[in-house]
Amino acid sequence: MNILIKEKHLYDIQAEVTVVFALNTDELLHEGPLKELGFKASQDETCYLSEFKTLYVGVEANEHDLFRAAAATAIKTLSKFTYSSLKIAQYDVNNKEGIFTALIEGIILGAYTFDMYKSEKKENTIKEIVFSSKTLEDEGSQAEILEKALIYAYTVARATNYARTLVNMTPEDIFPLKLAHVAADLAKENNLECKVLGEQDLADENMHAMLSVGRASRHDSQLIHLTYKPKKPRAVISLVGKGLTYDSGGLSLKPAASMVSMKLDKSGACTVLGIMKAASELKLDVEIHGVIGAVENMVGGDAYKPDDVLTAKNGKTIEVRNTDAEGRLVLADCLGYAQEKIKADYIFDYATLTGACLVALGQYTTGIMGHSHKLKHSVGRSGTNTGELISALPFNRYLKKQLKSEIADISNISNKPYGGAITAAMFLDEFINEENKNKWMHFDIAGPAYVESSWGYNSYGGSGAGVRVTLDWLMGLK
Ligand code: BES
Ligand code: ZN
Ligand code: ZN
């Protein structure tokens, strides 16, 4: 799909179909026929006037995320037709409101389909989308600004789709070593460094918490370390991803219904890969390290058990009381690895860590947790900029007590049924060194990472949650 900007008025651009985003029904060119068909311009409402080859899509208010959703609706509607080119007017001179960026992202996210496992594949007939850079009033738009925004939005949305596909692939197709190959391919393509640690290396690094989780799997666990190093980086950031290529729960086996879709448990890893893909393509001047714990949590005679006591990389002992709380064990060691090997200014981790985060915030919102209010605020702002829903969940010293163990330094689950998203993050906090407390932030993406029924521009399956918000945050990093 080719997206271009032309320095012409909409009516001077050649294309088969015109897409019009309508905030209301007044003063529209085809007001009469639209009224006749009952078009109300409500959000995502569509009306196609074949006589005029124009698709109208409603937008409830002048907000970028509503345009993002409407653009996705437009492209989904048109993909059922056979047209190959379409044109769109200018709604935001010089991208001041981020609406131009949103339209590009909405189109690319909305056009996404996942048909790897379908025998019949449908090809999108739309080959060219042309944006006009001129408004009727002609407020002096600058092509350069729009071109830049186009490249940014295009790159970020494609990287999001890349993460979505990885999440959507089955555990038979993406197991830990396969994920390492995916990372190696990305490294080759985008000029990154890639180091992969197998089980012997993990043992040499004393990463026994991570190793225990993967012990019953026929697939060896892998730690993947990708590095993007620009010439003069303004900052160094470590991105740590939970890469459970399958989470059966282990001996604390998940009930049948909760196990379905647990291929999603590698989403944090896929988010890290997506961020690194876009950051390297956009040549951001931030040094980025991606550290991924790729593990499969299975059952078997060799499985780790409730009652085991594990020693993590940093020397702390962990009493296992539930083998389904495995992500935090993998992350404890990966965070230890990242802190030992990389002198970073920021450490972000991404994980589908807790069902409790869904209970707390709903399925659309990422929970962010950490000690630095400043960091939480700035990531929250990036959430607003990108339309990704983000909310902070606060730590407190009372909840921390729920992780006490009678026989080890800490238990891997809380002894109370409340506040599970926060206690999971407080468990991770045990593995953050004192000097890094304010550099660290945890993203629990258990809700938005996987879409069970589509919402906005997110269709069924992996969503790439965390990719767009983090890239926006990296762009604003001073
Ligand atoms: N991967 C799951 C969390 C999850 C649940 C992600 C639903 C996405 C959707 C995680 O490993 C897990 O099983 N957590 C347990 C923790 C509990 C045993 C303390 C949970 O949330 O039930
Ligand atoms: Zn689990
Ligand atoms: Zn899990």
Instruction: Encode pLDDT of 298-351 as tens digits.
Output: 999 999 999 999 999 999 999 999 999 999 999 999 999 999 999 999 999 999
- 227 and 93 fall within a common domain: no
What CATH number does the domain containing 245 carry? 3.40.630.10
pLDDT at residue 237 in the model: 98
Distance (Å) from CA 98 to ligand 1 centroid: 35
Distance (Å) from CA 5 to ligand 2 centroid: 47
The closest residue, in CA terms, to atom 16 on ligand 1 is 325
- 392 and 303 fall within a common domain: yes
- Ligand 1: residue of 248, 324, 358, 418 to mutate (most ligand atoms within 8 A of CB) is 324
Question: Does residue 273 lie in a domain region?
Answer: yes
- 308 and 371 fall within a common domain: yes
- 69 and 190 fall within a common domain: no
CB of 419 closer than 6 A to ligand 1?
no
Distance (Å) from CA 239 to ligand 3 centroid: 18
Has residue 246 got a pLDDT over 70? yes
Question: Does residue 24 lie in a domain region?
Answer: yes
Question: Does residue 146 lie in a domain region?
Answer: no
The closest residue, in CA terms, to atom 17 on ligand 1 is 325
Annotated catalytic residues are 254, 328
- 245 and 336 fall within a common domain: yes
- 279 and 322 fall within a common domain: yes
Of 119, 141, 163, the residue that ends a domain is: 141
- 368 and 227 fall within a common domain: yes
Question: Does residue 26 lie in a domain region?
Answer: yes
- 242 and 137 fall within a common domain: no
Question: Does residue 394 lie in a domain region?
Answer: yes
The closest residue, in CA terms, to atom 8 on ligand 1 is 446
User: Which atom of ligand 1 has the smallest separation from the CA of 324?
Assistant: 13
Instruction: Encode pLDDT of 408-452 as tens digits.
Output: 999 999 999 999 999 999 999 999 999 999 999 999 999 999 999
Instruction: Provide the number of structural domains found in the chain.
Output: 2
**Whole-number percent of the chain with pLDDT over 90:** 96
Local confidence band at 138 (pLDDT 50, 70, 90 cut-offs): low
- Which ligand is located closest to the Cα atom of residue 412? 1
CB of 356 closer than 6 A to ligand 1?
yes
Local confidence band at 93 (pLDDT 50, 70, 90 cut-offs): confident
Question: Does residue 199 lie in a domain region?
Answer: yes
Question: Does residue 152 lie in a domain region?
Answer: no
Question: Does residue 193 lie in a domain region?
Answer: yes
- 180 and 124 fall within a common domain: no
Domain coverage including residue 90? 2-141
- 186 and 104 fall within a common domain: no
- 289 and 208 fall within a common domain: yes
The closest residue, in CA terms, to atom 3 on ligand 1 is 354
Distance (Å) from CA 325 to ligand 1 centroid: 6
First to last CA, the chain: 34
Residue range 255-259: average pLDDT?
A: 98
